Amino acid sequence: MHDLIENGTLWTLKEVGTDSEQIRQNETLFSLSNGHIGTRGSLEERHRTQSYSHSGSTLMNGFYDTEPITYGEWAYGYATHHQTTIPIPDAKKMDLSLGDERFDLETGKVDHHSRTLDLKKGLLTRTFSWENSKQQSINVTIERFVSYDFPEILAQRITIESEADELPVQLTFELDELKDMGKEESAEDDPDPRKKEQAERRFDSRPLSTDSGRMIHISTHASDLHAVIYDHVVSQPELVSLERVENKVTASFQTDKSAPVVIDRFTAYSHKYSNEEDTGSHAENLKEIMSEVEMLGYDEVKDRHLSFMDDFWKVSDIKLEGDQALQIGLRFNLFHLHQAAGRDGHTNMSAKGLTGEGYEGHYFWDTEMYMFPFFLYTQPEIAKSLLMYRHSILPQARERARTMAIENGALFAWRTINGEEASPYYPAGTAQIHINADIAHAVYDYGKVSEDEAFMFNEGLDILVETARFWLEWGHFDDERNGAFVLNDVTGPDEYTAIVNNNFYTNLMAKKNLSYAIEYVQKALKQETDKLDELHVTEDELENWKQAESRMFLPYDEEKELTMQDDSFFHKKVWDFEHTPKDNYPLLLNYHPLTIYKHQVCKQADTVLAEFLFFDDFSMDQLIRDYDYYEKVTTHDSSLSRSVFGMMASQIDKHKKAYDYFMDTALMDISDLQSNTKDGVHAANMGGTWMSIVQGFAGMRFNDGTLYFTPHCPKEWSRLSFKVQVKDRLIQVSLTPSSTEYTLLEGEPITIVENGEQIQL
């Protein structure tokens, strides 16, 4: 039983005690977010040392600063600027004093210290009792939530009780503007390319006038982004005197054993904006929100948040019987996945959500290929807003394609926030052009599952057409291969094999991308929409797509009867796993890229991912042969790997493997499997756990408008159930090792297929 999980609980993670290591570690796990703002699970009080905190930052989705990328040697078309999501003023900080003693864990006599993350409610609650050197003691409860109902609002309630009267208590609230911010590790101390510590405060701030509380305007140093933050403290005036001195609000009162003292703190974070002149209206807007929030009061604001959480769990929960820890682990993953998603059409999901600064807060293909399916089948409106973000950066993607000497079409940035390429290492960045097809794939699936024609024939078509165009120019018809369409000098998902020709995953996804574009352009032609004129799609172009689609080269080794990851993969020497010390993993931190590239060794699922996505296009024998081969040469150094191998294992009847991979996946962050959870959760892997249940164990696939299931519930569990939304139906699926049950909860009757047999719901 994991130490955060108590017997009997199914919805909570509870940390007991004051062990600094544990508190540091849980800072990530206890992060709260609503897709707009996120704040890490750090403690409220100041400590002399860093020992209780890795980084207590508060982040805003899409609020980043830029700095020029320095290269040892420049080349044309390199990404020009880093984009880095930056910590913004943090509203969790407060000082608590009893008499003339200030509270902290390093010096205070503290009892019954615990923090509880309630996944069902989306609440983080901290309680403890503190006795000062005069044997005066108080009990403290601090509750924190980030509102889904008011996306701008971080709410905190502090409750102080005592068995003694008239103990003088003081609470000082501050908006931490990070003036004294220093980085814990410098880039030189830890050159791990997967993370980037903040070197310094990256914004300027100035106070804005308010009748009450404290309001500031912040603007980034280089990217010229702006935001307004409004920090407001409320309490019972008859008991507590609130005094504002400079940046601090001090609440003073005396304890009363008959009644606890309650102080509420609301902090509103505006949405980001890029025109300083808009500051006034954003400030006004926050004032209105704040007055509404104050008028409603903490309890009502909290109730609305709870009911929002209820609605979320109603459609999104996965119930698993037979393994309590795993049940909680699953919910923990869904909870964070839900927290991570931008919902405004201008933001997306960073690889770490808003739980940490790893990967600089960039958006990757992770969104479409690992996180998107969860939203697509449970909250399609969020799925749509994620695609709207991609549509919003089409201009930058077109520009990027031009830089790559592609005259028509668009190339989405491999890693970005603002749409511009931010990867300083093109062999594992720009070369991963498969991101174009990944996005097109998500667009297509969204169209099929949601039947949102309005989107598909506008934004959807823009994306499908511009990505299809890209393939025609990047690749060519290779006379050396009887005119097959080839894609050279690309990098597939497996970043341990870079700059190769005809990566199977990339080529297959490009083929699908072309077929998606063809299908929707033909539909649009029938509809006589003028969208096609707007996009200048001609008959000739359509014909070229058809040629490329039908003649797409898919590398296959006839002799071995194996799918080839790329043209030359089998010509590489197999990595000497036997003599590779355990400490040398992940390989990317211990071997030169060329050393890795010239071997058969995979960081993650590549061919196996392609085959899982289009499972029905392959024979079972083929799937098994390829799986057996590629599993042997895959290190799973990427967190995107295990879930895919697990899902495929389940579908090719390797049930033991399926279960083992899944258990690694599901508990990756709670057990810090990759030892870097402190930098943030692995959001894609969390999406992978949902996929593992629904598309792995339940074997759900959606082809040509029909839902297919090939369920295999691990014998380790007694029951597994979840819900999916498809074509306006809400369907509940329950699995046991021996049976399956499908229930239509909402919507018109529908026919599904289980193991080849039709079932009418």
Of 156-195, binders to a second copy (CB under 8 A) are 187, 191, 193
Using CB under 8 A, which of 36, 40, 54, 82 touches a second copy? 82
Smallest separation (angstroms) from a second copy to the CB of 591: 6
Among 236, 595, 718, 751, binds a second copy (CB under 8 A): 595
- Which one of the listed residues 143, 360, 368, 495 is annotated catalytic? 495
- 496 counts as binding a second copy under rule CB under 8 A: no
| Stretch of 205-213, 228-236, 474-482, 752-760 lying at the interface with a second copy (CB under 8 A) | 474-482
Give the binding range for a second copy (CB under 8 A) out of 64-72, 152-160, 251-259, 445-453.
Answer: 64-72
- Quote the Cα angle for 90-93-98, to 5°: 170
Question: Is residue 573 part of the contact set for a second copy (CB under 8 A)?
Answer: yes
- 3 state DSSP class of 470: helix
Choosing from 211, 246, 277, 480, the residue that interacts with a second copy (CB under 8 A) is 480
| Of 742, 701, 739, nearest in space to 722 by CA | 742
Q: Look at the block and give the residue holding tokens 């289980």.
A: 754
The two beta strands, 248-254 and 241-245, are antiparallel
Residues of the chain by 3-state class (helix, strand, coil), percent to 5: 35, 25, 40
User: 23 or 552, CB closer to a second copy?
Assistant: 552
Our finding on whether 618 is near a second copy (CB under 8 A) is: no
Answer yes or no: 611 catalytic: no
The DSSP symbol for 176 reads B
Q: Does 401 sit near a second copy (CB under 8 A)? A: no
- Residue closer to a second copy, measured from CB, 128 or 597: 597
Beta strand spans in 132-225 (E): 137-146, 153-161, 168-174, 203-208, 214-220
According to CB under 8 A, which residues from 427 to 466 bind a second copy?
Answer: 427, 430-431
Strand partners, 753: 708, 758
Contact between 486 and a second copy per CB under 8 A: yes
- Report, in Å, the least distance between residue 593 CB and a second copy: 5
Closest to a second copy by CB, 290 vs 587, is: 587
Alpha-carbon torsion angle 696, 698, 701, 706, nearest 10: 180
Bridge partners, residue 215, by sequence = 208, 230
Q: How far is the CB of 576 from a second copy (least distance, A)?
A: 10
Measured in whole angstroms, the distance separating CA 548 from the mean position of its chain's CA atoms is 34
Q: Does 69 contact a second copy by CB under 8 A?
A: yes
Q: Is 625 in the site for a second copy (CB under 8 A)?
A: no
Question: Is there a contact between 13 and 119 (Cβ–Cβ < 8 Å)?
Answer: yes
Window of 5-13, 72-80, 339-347, 438-446 that interacts with a second copy by CB under 8 A: 72-80
Q: What distance in Å separates the CA atoms of residue 67 and residue 483, rounded to the nearest whole number?
A: 45
Which residues, at least 6 apart from 574, have a Cβ–Cβ distance to it below 8 Å?
A: 599, 600, 601, 633
Question: What is the rounded CA–CA span in Å between residue 384 and residue 190?
Answer: 38
Contact indicator for 518, 542 with CB cutoff of 8 Å: yes
Task: Pick between residue 200 and residue 204 the one whose CB is nearest to a second copy.
Answer: 200
For a second copy, the binding residue among 426, 505, 661, 702 (CB under 8 A) is 426
Chain centroid to CA 469:
29
Q: Residue 568, interface with a second copy (CB under 8 A)?
A: yes
Token pair, residue 16, equals 């007991």
366 is in an annotated binding site: yes
Task: Judge contact between 249 and 173, C-beta under 8 A.
Answer: yes
Q: Is 593 in the site for a second copy (CB under 8 A)?
A: yes
546 carries a ligand binding annotation: no
State the amino acid at position 79 in one-letter form. A
Token pair belonging to 597: 């590239």
Q: Which amino acid is at 422?
A: A
Which residues, in sequence order, are CB contacts of 135 under 8 Å at separation 6+? none
Q: Given candidates 468, 498, 524, 548, which one binds a second copy under the rule CB under 8 A?
A: 498
The span from the CA of 687 to the CA of 584, in Å, is 28
Residue 379 assigned to a binding site: no
User: Interface with a second copy by CB under 8 A: which range of 212-220, 245-253, 362-370, 400-408?
Assistant: 400-408
Position among 11, 308, 425, 618 found at the interface with a second copy (CB under 8 A): 425
Nearer to a second copy, 458 or 590 (CB): 590
The residues pairing with 146 across neighbouring beta strands, listed in sequence order, are 154
170 is in an annotated binding site: no
Segment lying near a second copy (by CB under 8 A), choices 10-18, 399-407, 740-748, 749-757 = 399-407
Q: Rule CB under 8 A: is residue 585 a binding residue for a second copy?
A: no
Number of residues that bind a second copy (CB under 8 A): 52
Position among 570, 614, 708, 742 found at the interface with a second copy (CB under 8 A) = 570
CA angle, corner 435, sides to 429 and 436, nearest 5?
Answer: 125
Separation of alpha carbons 372 and 446, rounded Å: 9
Binding of residue 71 to a second copy (CB under 8 A) = yes
Report the interface residues with a second copy, using CB under 8 A. 69-79, 82, 187, 191, 193, 403-405, 423-427, 430-431, 474, 476, 478, 480-481, 486, 488-489, 498-499, 501, 567-568, 570-573, 588-595, 597-598
Binding residues: 365-366, 603-604
Binding residues for substrate: 365-366, 603-604
Catalytic residues: 495
